[in-house]
Chains A and B, each alone.
Chain A
């Protein structure tokens, strides 16, 4: 994580970068229960060495003046991250908002497993299940909000 204010992507993302990005993001939104269940179906959580964390710290969230202008610092959020290495050498990153260290570590393990050919498919399937849940939550919120949309109608003034 760096402190540069630059917001342009450093380089174009490869297909495998995009896949990894989505995997880390979906694992970052998965619950501990979801991840534990998924790991059970993959033969349990493998042994993993902590390379960094799990640790909780702060990220300063930035906004833009007027929504589109120059940057300013809005305020901080708690973030928990973990980096682990599996026995086969695969390294995984997990991170999420909040202070849940167990969740960050499980996400890192699943990310590393997603780097191995043995588990890639199973981790992908799990991530798409998480994505389906998140989309359903968003759709519900959007539908509830849509029901509060104002339908204006014009009152016709009588002639008398």
Chain B
């Protein structure tokens, strides 16, 4: 039951003013610029873009600053902003095979066309705090080396050459995929809708689910076939011109997980696949996404659904951190009337209990 109550305007207004003050903090320090956030907190900006499902580094950095670094708040703000913009259209599919690669590794092949390119990775760092970053020391530029001209071949294409992995080919008509931002979720979902939901899903939630599959809750025996990070062209058809043009490039992280076999009477045994594709440099998220994608394909491969990571409705209904935070945090909104009703109820139950106890006591005394 909702009852309109007035009051609190001054408190709210002062609280917002105080929030702005605390956000700015010590005035003797220079204010953070959006450019600084984009350049120096780049992976945080990427996470906001990925989970807000909106690629725009400037706006993501603005959201991060406005949210005082609270990632889910920033994602919420950016998600809300996107609803104010018109949809111009849909791009052609990005071609991750033609990516301008910034990092590419495979855990399945040591020597492969294009090589193992480590890029700007945290891997192999010692995870020791670096006191030099307390100050502002000169930082050397990256070393350059003449790149190879050989193309950076997809690992899945190497396996596909021997048809040892399930093929991923466009369906004949290139069917328009479902769009969870336009149609309400209806279970069971297609893999297209699941991938869209996972691409914007909470990194922590997907990481935990992916971890659960490794610990035995729906084991899929995964290998990181390939992880690549880099820039891809975004092309869109322009009807006025009658051809497609590139709008520019976006950075994405792709993970091809190679999983254990499936075969049937009709099909020889072959590796199965899990796929992760995420905005920005977001390797952990792309890997987690590919593990969860594979786990969610259980029914497609006739696997028993026995673990949370295989339960599509459970995973997809709880992967969106904007929805999740909305429902959890709504508990702090006034529930005064609801609570009064509960209070009355528990008091009445208590009176009835006490009355019943008295009768029992009287009967005991009478019996003695």
Contact = CB atoms under 8 A, between A and B. Distances in A.
B177 A72 contact: yes
Contacts of A65: 168, 191-192, 195, 275
23 contacts: A1-B88, A5-B175, A7-B92, A7-B93, A10-B237, A17-B242, A21-B241, A21-B243, A28-B245, A57-B86, A59-B90, A61-B94, A67-B275, A68-B97, A70-B171, A73-B177, A75-B279, A77-B56, A78-B55, A95-B245, A141-B100, A148-B117, A149-B117
- Enumerate the 8 nearest inter-chain pairs by beta-carbon distance, A residue then B residue, closest first: A66-B168, A1-B89, A69-B168, A143-B144, A77-B55, A146-B147, A75-B53, A144-B142
A24 interface: yes
Nearest to B228: A67
Interface of B: 49-50, 53-56, 58-59, 82, 85-94, 96-97, 100-103, 110-111, 115-121, 142-148, 154, 156, 167-171, 174-181, 191-193, 195-196, 199-200, 234, 236-250, 252, 254, 256, 273, 275, 277, 279
B243 A143 contact: no
Given A2-B239, A93-B238, A97-B55, A71 B142 contact: no
B55 A60 contact: no
A66 B252 CA distance: 14
A118 interface: no
Interface in A38-79: 55-79
Contacts of B154: 67-68
A157 interface: no
Q: Is the interface of B mostly helix, strand, loop or mixed?
A: mixed
Given A67-B97, A142-B100, A60 B250 contact: no
Contacts of A98: 56, 58, 248
A146 B146 CA distance: 7
Contact of A17 (B89, B143, B243, B250): B243
Contacts of A7: 92-93, 174
B44 to A, nearest CB: 17
A3 B146 CA distance: 41
Interface residues of A, number: 64
Given A3-B176, A72-B193, A146-B147, 14 more contacts: A1-B237, A7-B174, A21-B245, A25-B245, A57-B87, A58-B88, A63-B93, A63-B94, A74-B199, A75-B54, A75-B196, A78-B55, A78-B59, A98-B58
B233 to A, nearest CB: 9
A149 B239 contact: no
B247 A79 contact: yes
Contacts of B146: 143, 146
A17 B176 CA distance: 27
